[in-house]
Amino acid sequence: MSTTSLTAARLGLVACDTCGLLSRPAGPGAAGFCRRCGSKLHGRHPNSLQNTWALAVAAAVCFLPANALPVMVTNAFGSSTPDTILGGVVFLYTSGSWPLALIVLVASFMIPLGKLIALAWLLISIHRRTHGGERQRMRLHRAVRAVGPWSMLDVFVATFTVALVQLDPLMSVEPGLGVLFFASVVVLTMLAAESLDPRLLWDLDPADIKRA
């Protein structure tokens, strides 16, 4: 038997989500509880794919207004200037702050977009039961989960700037609607990554799900 064919499901075992202990399921209809930590066992998380798809699609829908709508509106001397994420990147680059422009571009645009693409690829590979590259997809899933909180840079900058620049009536900064959609993208992609059961990446055969 090859190494890749050995999975807990094929051996009739269930891994605890909390402590990782492998256990025999209590019965065919219910996995039971972990004998070490007492957590409820799941062969596979219920509705994991459906929940992940729903969250990922909602994040993709929010991604467009997050970049099209202003994240900040600057009011100075009677005039208002809206700033989008990409508009801010262009402004920083043209003003000479290209390192900061690169950080904002990567953290606020490329990482959220990359997370959406990665989630879509993982979900499609599960549906198509793609053979090969399971370890790489596992690492990608862990990476998506790890970088999730770091995508909140733009929300942090907007919140910090709004709180700092309040010089009424001369100048003030207000949060734009785009920051709400951007925060939604970050939160939804984090929830989507958490709701995806990575064990599904190893279920190459429909019989694996029945065994789990």
Please tell me the distance from the alpha carbon of residue 48 to that of residue 175, in angstroms, as a whole number. 34
Give the pLDDT of residue 114. 92
What's residue 169's pLDDT?
A: 61
Structure tokens at 17: 């989500």
Q: What is the mean pLDDT of residues 25-48?
A: 78
> Is it the case that residue 209 has pLDDT exceeding 60?
no
Average of per-residue pLDDT values in the chain? 80
Contacts of 40 (CB under 8 A, 6+ apart): 31, 32, 33, 34
* pLDDT 10s digits, 99-111: 878 888 888 888 8
Region 6-12 average pLDDT: 72
Residue 76's pLDDT band (cuts 50, 70, 90) = confident
Tokens representing 197 are 């059961």
CB 190 within 8 Å of CB 115: no
Given a cut of 70, whether residue 25 has pLDDT beyond it is yes
Q: And the tokens for 129?
A: 């039961």
Mean pLDDT (whole number) for 53-81:
87
How far is Cα 38 from Cα 173, in angstroms, rounded to an integer?
Answer: 51
* Identity of residue 38: G
Report CA dihedral (118, 119, 122, 123) to the nearest 10 degrees: -150
Does residue 82 have a cis peptide bond before it, meaning omega lies within 30 degrees of 0?
no
Query: Is the predicted pLDDT of residue 42 greater than 60, yes or no?
Result: yes
Q: pLDDT-based confidence at 156, cuts 50/70/90?
A: low
Quote the CA–CA distance of 9 and 25 in Å, as a whole number.
10
* 193 — pLDDT class (breaks 50, 70, 90): very high
Least reliable range by pLDDT among 83-87, 114-118, 158-162: 158-162
Round to whole Å and give the CA distance between 146 and 205: 29
Q: What percent of the chain has pLDDT over 70?
A: 81
pLDDT of res. 101:
82
| Nearest partner of 71 among 148, 186, 170, 167, judged by Cα | 186
Lowest mean pLDDT among 4-8, 137-141, 172-176: 4-8
Residues 138, 198: contact at Cβ < 8 Å? yes
* pLDDT at residue 128, as a whole number: 86
